[in-house]
């Protein structure tokens, strides 16, 4: 098999890149190791930035998002028994959209199956070779057969645990990492969200987040110790803990309860691999960088990477110039590091570290109070949360 751009991984980054390349007339093949049902049901992100919304609309994948997604104009930060609202349009002129990653993935897969390009499920990539040659290859197993895809370029969209990153030699690749001393227990519950907008809550018992998937489904998260088994938390315990962490001093907040349909635990990590390109191999999305989920940045960063990358391949295709491709890593890393900082800031400001001193807790409250009382501080949060311009 032969193609111009071989894409490893059919998460949001790989699927959107394939769609954009197909529309630009650049030949590509997408290899995904899981089956379609698994990829479509993997519970993850829920918040789309303005740039992500625009990119999905522009490539024809925005129709259901515009029908079913919930545009949001703000979030609440809750701390010290009180809440403060960050007004996105007022501070930035932008919005975000609640529309689950599962739905973005379903919409993109439906377009692929209807219009192309070639998308192979259950195609396990075992190695990417020849990054420093003109014709890198992807080795993969499909239908029990070992196969080789010859490419002009390979893009690794295979997430944090993928193989493509390892095609960049150890001596070239630099990695930067921070692991946090807590995780998120996430639940889905069949109950209307108890607030119209997301609530990010700082509490001495731990962080909590109220989000949603639809007007009838709530998505909630609790900070828990690393290594927590989700089955060790009963439904009653989860609701009790959420009540305690979202409580307002005047007692006015009431969290509605409903049947919990899923429980899972996610560890928190910051990670960046540089450069995002070596020879004819490029990385995009979680394959190159991970953020802790508190700033809702992971999916949005993945989308921003592939928008920049698709533009660079289209430029090469139409003009023969590799100028934008050569700039790809630097262009993306600048934005990536800003999102890394914002995610780190949101995470360390809102989560009490189990080891932290009362002094550090006071600093967190003081920082949140600053955001509540200064338009400038609130605008900085709003600008980063709604997303910086792409490329
Ligand atoms: P992935 O989605 O990880 O996709 C990689 C794909 O590659 C997978 O389909 C995988 O099966 C495939 N693959 C891996 N190895 C191979 C191989 N060897 N061969 C073939 N295929 C392979 N982000 C936000 O922006 N907003 C949020 O609100 C948000 N909330 C989150 C909440 C949680 C609980 C979690 C866990 C994450 C959240 N994120 C959020 C992060 C977001 O989900 C990820 O950043 C996003 O999925 C990255 O997309 P990706 O396509 O780069 O990688
Ligand atoms: C969701 C996840 C996040 O990490 C976040 O910051 C906001 C919302 C969600 O899954 O809905």
Buried b (16+ CB within 10 A) or exposed e, 233-263: beeeebbebbeebbbeeeeebebebeebeeb
Residue 337 located in a structural domain:
yes
Closest ligand (CA of 122): 1
Q: What percent of the chain has pLDDT over 70?
A: 100
Angle made by CA atoms 285, 187, 157, in degrees to the nearest 5: 15
Q: 206 with 312, same domain?
A: no
Determine, yes or no, domain membership for 77: no
Does 126 lie in the same domain as 9? yes
Q: Can you read off the two tokens belonging to residue 48? A: 């789309």
What single string gives the DSSP state of each residue in 321-360?
--HHHHHHHHHHHHHHHHHHHHHHHHHHHHS--TT--HHH
The answer to whether residue 209 is domain-embedded is: yes
CB distance 103 to 65 below 8 Å: yes
Instruction: Report pLDDT for 391.
Output: 74
* 219 located within any domain: yes
Tell me, what's the ipTM?
0.95
% of the chain residues with pLDDT over 90 = 98
Residues with CB under 6 A from ligand 2: 45-47, 198, 209, 211, 219, 293-294, 296
82 is a domain residue: no
Say which CATH number the domain at 199 has: 3.30.9.10
Residue 81 lies in a domain: no
**Does the residue 80 lie in any domain?**
no
Q: Mean pLDDT throughout 186-196?
A: 98
- Strand-pair partners of 224: 183
State whether 207 and 150 are in the same domain. no
First to last CA, the chain: 33
Query: CB–CB of 217/177 below 8 Å?
Result: no
30 forms beta bridges with: 7, 119
The residue whose C-alpha atom lies closest to atom 9 belonging to ligand 2 is 46
Q: Are residues 151 and 63 in the same domain?
A: yes
Q: How far does residue 211's CA lie from ligand 2's centre (Å)? A: 6
27 and 123 both lie in a single domain: yes
Q: Are residues 231 and 172 in the same domain?
A: no
329-369 confidence digits (pLDDT tens): 999 999 999 999 999 999 999 999 999 999 999 999 999 99
Backbone angles phi, psi at 135, to 5 degrees: -145, 75
Q: Examine the domain organization and report whether 336 and 324 are in the same domain.
A: yes
Specify whether 133 is located in the same domain as 254.
Answer: no
Q: Are residues 146 and 251 in the same domain?
A: no
Number of domains composing the chain: 2
Residues 364, 305: one domain? no
* SS3 state of residue 207: coil
Q: Mean pLDDT, to the nearest integer, of 91-118?
A: 96
Determine whether 297 is an active site residue.
Answer: yes
The CA distance from 13 to 282, in Å, is 12
Report pLDDT for 335: 96
Give the CATH number for residue 301: 3.50.50.60
49 & 127 share domain: yes
* pLDDT surpasses 80 at 111: yes
Residue 78 lies in a domain: no
Closest-lying ligand 1 atom to the alpha carbon of residue 211: 28
Same domain, 171 and 229: no
Question: Quick one: pLDDT at residue 43?
Answer: 84
Which domain, by its residues, includes 343? 2-72+96-178+269-348
């Amino acid at each position: 098999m032969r193609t111009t751009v071989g894409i490893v991984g059919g998460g949001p980054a790989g699927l959107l890149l394939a769609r954009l390349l197909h529309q630009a007339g650049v030949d590509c093949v997408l290899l995904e190791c899981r089956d379609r049902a698994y990829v479509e049901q993997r519970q993850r992100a829920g918040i789309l930035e303005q740039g992500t919304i625009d990119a999905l609309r522009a490539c024809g994948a925005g129709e259901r998002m515009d029908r079913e997604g919930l545009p949001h104009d703000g979030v609440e930060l809750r701390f010290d028994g009180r809440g403060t609202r960050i007004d996105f349009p007022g501070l930035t002129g932008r919005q975000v959209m609640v529309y689950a990653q599962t739905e973005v993935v379903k919409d993109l897969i439906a377009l692929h199956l209807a219009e192309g390009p070639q998308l192979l499920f259950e195609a396990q990539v075992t190695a990417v070779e020849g990054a420093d040659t003109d014709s890198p290859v992807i080795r993969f197993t499909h239908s029990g057969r070992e196969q080789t895809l010859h490419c002009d370029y390979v893009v690794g969209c295979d997430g944090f645990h993928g193989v493509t990153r390892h095609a960049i030699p150890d001596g070239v690749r630099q990695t930067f990492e921070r692991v946090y001393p807590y995780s998120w227990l996430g639940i889905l519950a069949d109950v209307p969200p108890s607030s119209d907008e997301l609530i990010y809550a700082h509490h001495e018992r731990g962080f909590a987040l109220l989000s949603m998937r639809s007007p009838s489904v709530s998505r909630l998260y609790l900070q828990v110790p690393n290594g927590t088994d989700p089955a060790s938390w009963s439904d009653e315990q989860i609701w009790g803990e959420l009540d305690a962490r979202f409580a307002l001093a005047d007692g006015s907040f009431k969290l509605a309860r409903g049947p919990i349909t899923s429980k899972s635990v996610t560890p928190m990590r910051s990670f960046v691999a540089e450069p995002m390109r070596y020879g004819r191999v490029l990385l995009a999305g979680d394959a190159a960088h991970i953020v802790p989920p508190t700033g809702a940045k992971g999916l949005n960063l993945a989308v921003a990477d592939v928008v920049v990358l698709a533009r660079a391949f289209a430029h090469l295709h139409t003009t023969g110039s590799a100028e934008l491709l050569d700039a790809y890593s630097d262009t993306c890393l600048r934005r990536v590091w800003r999102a890394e900082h914002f995610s780190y800031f949101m995470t360390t400001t809102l989560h009490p570290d189990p080891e932290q001193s009362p002094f550090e807790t006071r600093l967190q409250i003081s920082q949140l109070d600053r955001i509540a009382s200064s338009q400038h501080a609130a605008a900085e949060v709003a600008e980063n949360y709604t997303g910086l311009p792409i490329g």
